[in-house]
Structure 1
Amino acid sequence: MREKSRYYKIDNKNMAIALSFLLNREFYTFDDKFREGKEIYSFVDDAKFREVLTLACNIRRNNK
Protein backbone atom coordinates (compact mmCIF):
# COMPACT_ATOMS: atom_id res chain seq x y z
CA MET A 1 0.00 0.00 0.00
CA ARG A 2 1.20 3.50 -0.83
CA GLU A 3 2.27 5.75 2.03
CA LYS A 4 0.35 9.03 2.53
CA SER A 5 2.33 12.05 1.38
CA ARG A 6 3.28 14.73 3.88
CA TYR A 7 2.77 17.34 1.17
CA TYR A 8 -0.27 18.59 -0.76
CA LYS A 9 0.31 19.61 -4.37
CA ILE A 10 -1.64 22.34 -6.19
CA ASP A 11 -1.33 23.26 -9.87
CA ASN A 12 -3.16 26.62 -9.59
CA LYS A 13 -0.70 29.41 -8.78
CA ASN A 14 -3.42 31.86 -7.68
CA MET A 15 -4.80 29.35 -5.18
CA ALA A 16 -1.27 28.66 -3.91
CA ILE A 17 -0.67 32.38 -3.39
CA ALA A 18 -4.01 32.79 -1.57
CA LEU A 19 -3.34 29.81 0.69
CA SER A 20 0.18 31.05 1.36
CA PHE A 21 -1.20 34.42 2.43
CA LEU A 22 -3.92 32.92 4.65
CA LEU A 23 -1.54 30.46 6.29
CA ASN A 24 1.38 32.89 6.48
CA ARG A 25 3.55 30.09 5.06
CA GLU A 26 5.68 29.78 1.96
CA PHE A 27 4.96 27.13 -0.65
CA TYR A 28 7.49 25.05 -2.55
CA THR A 29 7.62 25.28 -6.35
CA PHE A 30 8.57 22.32 -8.56
CA ASP A 31 8.50 21.53 -12.26
CA ASP A 32 5.51 19.34 -13.13
CA LYS A 33 6.91 16.03 -14.38
CA PHE A 34 3.65 15.21 -16.20
CA ARG A 35 3.18 18.54 -18.03
CA GLU A 36 6.22 20.06 -19.66
CA GLY A 37 6.73 23.75 -18.96
CA LYS A 38 4.27 23.81 -16.03
CA GLU A 39 4.88 24.11 -12.31
CA ILE A 40 3.21 22.69 -9.21
CA TYR A 41 3.07 24.26 -5.77
CA SER A 42 3.43 22.22 -2.62
CA PHE A 43 2.42 22.80 1.01
CA VAL A 44 3.05 20.78 4.14
CA ASP A 45 -0.18 18.78 4.58
CA ASP A 46 -1.29 19.27 8.18
CA ALA A 47 -4.55 20.04 10.01
CA LYS A 48 -4.19 23.83 9.70
CA PHE A 49 -3.54 23.57 5.96
CA ARG A 50 -6.60 21.34 5.46
CA GLU A 51 -8.78 23.77 7.44
CA VAL A 52 -7.72 26.76 5.33
CA LEU A 53 -7.94 24.75 2.08
CA THR A 54 -11.52 23.71 2.92
CA LEU A 55 -12.51 27.31 3.68
CA ALA A 56 -10.92 28.62 0.47
CA CYS A 57 -12.55 25.91 -1.67
CA ASN A 58 -15.97 26.55 -0.11
CA ILE A 59 -15.70 30.30 -0.73
CA ARG A 60 -14.59 29.70 -4.31
CA ARG A 61 -17.39 27.18 -4.94
CA ASN A 62 -20.08 29.50 -3.49
CA ASN A 63 -19.00 32.48 -5.61
CA LYS A 64 -19.04 30.91 -9.08
Structure 2
Amino acid sequence: MREKSKYYIIDNKNMAITLGFLLNREFYRYDDRFNKGKKVYSFVDDAKFREALTIVSDFKRKNNK
Protein backbone atom coordinates (compact mmCIF):
# COMPACT_ATOMS: atom_id res chain seq x y z
CA MET A 1 0.00 0.00 0.00
CA ARG A 2 1.26 3.45 -0.91
CA GLU A 3 1.99 5.87 1.92
CA LYS A 4 0.15 9.21 1.88
CA SER A 5 2.34 12.10 0.78
CA LYS A 6 3.14 14.92 3.19
CA TYR A 7 2.88 17.41 0.32
CA TYR A 8 0.11 18.62 -1.98
CA ILE A 9 0.99 19.66 -5.54
CA ILE A 10 -0.85 22.45 -7.37
CA ASP A 11 -0.27 23.35 -11.02
CA ASN A 12 -2.09 26.71 -10.91
CA LYS A 13 0.20 29.61 -9.96
CA ASN A 14 -2.66 31.94 -8.95
CA MET A 15 -4.13 29.31 -6.64
CA ALA A 16 -0.70 28.72 -5.08
CA ILE A 17 -0.18 32.45 -4.49
CA THR A 18 -3.68 32.78 -2.97
CA LEU A 19 -3.19 29.83 -0.62
CA GLY A 20 0.29 30.99 0.34
CA PHE A 21 -1.08 34.43 1.21
CA LEU A 22 -4.07 33.13 3.19
CA LEU A 23 -1.97 30.64 5.13
CA ASN A 24 1.01 32.98 5.48
CA ARG A 25 3.22 30.12 4.28
CA GLU A 26 5.88 29.73 1.67
CA PHE A 27 5.38 27.16 -1.06
CA TYR A 28 7.98 25.35 -3.12
CA ARG A 29 8.22 25.70 -6.89
CA TYR A 30 9.44 22.84 -9.08
CA ASP A 31 9.65 22.02 -12.76
CA ASP A 32 6.68 19.89 -13.82
CA ARG A 33 8.11 16.55 -14.84
CA PHE A 34 5.08 15.79 -17.04
CA ASN A 35 4.84 19.15 -18.87
CA LYS A 36 8.13 20.56 -20.07
CA GLY A 37 8.49 24.28 -19.41
CA LYS A 38 5.73 24.34 -16.77
CA LYS A 39 5.99 24.68 -12.98
CA VAL A 40 4.16 23.04 -10.07
CA TYR A 41 3.77 24.38 -6.55
CA SER A 42 4.02 22.29 -3.40
CA PHE A 43 2.49 22.84 0.05
CA VAL A 44 2.72 20.86 3.27
CA ASP A 45 -0.51 18.83 3.31
CA ASP A 46 -2.06 19.36 6.73
CA ALA A 47 -5.51 20.16 8.14
CA LYS A 48 -5.06 23.95 7.92
CA PHE A 49 -3.98 23.69 4.27
CA ARG A 50 -6.95 21.44 3.41
CA GLU A 51 -9.35 23.88 5.09
CA ALA A 52 -7.99 26.82 3.08
CA LEU A 53 -8.01 24.78 -0.14
CA THR A 54 -11.65 23.83 0.41
CA ILE A 55 -12.70 27.42 1.13
CA VAL A 56 -10.89 28.84 -1.92
CA SER A 57 -12.10 26.03 -4.22
CA ASP A 58 -15.72 26.45 -3.08
CA PHE A 59 -15.54 30.22 -3.52
CA LYS A 60 -14.07 29.84 -7.01
CA ARG A 61 -16.70 27.26 -8.00
CA LYS A 62 -19.60 29.45 -6.77
CA ASN A 63 -18.36 32.56 -8.58
CA ASN A 64 -17.42 31.01 -11.93
CA LYS A 65 -20.93 30.20 -13.14
TM-score range, shorter chain: over 0.9
How far 1:55 sits from its partner (Å)? Answer: 0.2
Identity of aligned residues (%): 69
How far 1:23 sits from its partner (Å)? Answer: 0.2
**TM-score normalized by structure 1?**
0.98
Q: Deviations over 1:14-64 (max 9, x none)?
A: 000000000000000000001100000000000000000000000000001
**TM-score normalized by structure 2?**
0.97
Alpha-carbon separation, structure 2, partners of 1:61 and 1:46: 22
Q: Number of matched residues?
A: 64
C-alpha RMSD over aligned residues: 0.4
What residue ranges of structure 1 are gaps of 5+ in the alignment? Answer: none
SS of residue matched to 1:3: coil
Q: Which residue of 2 aligns with 1:60?
A: 60
What residue ranges of structure 2 are gaps of 5+ in the alignment? Answer: none
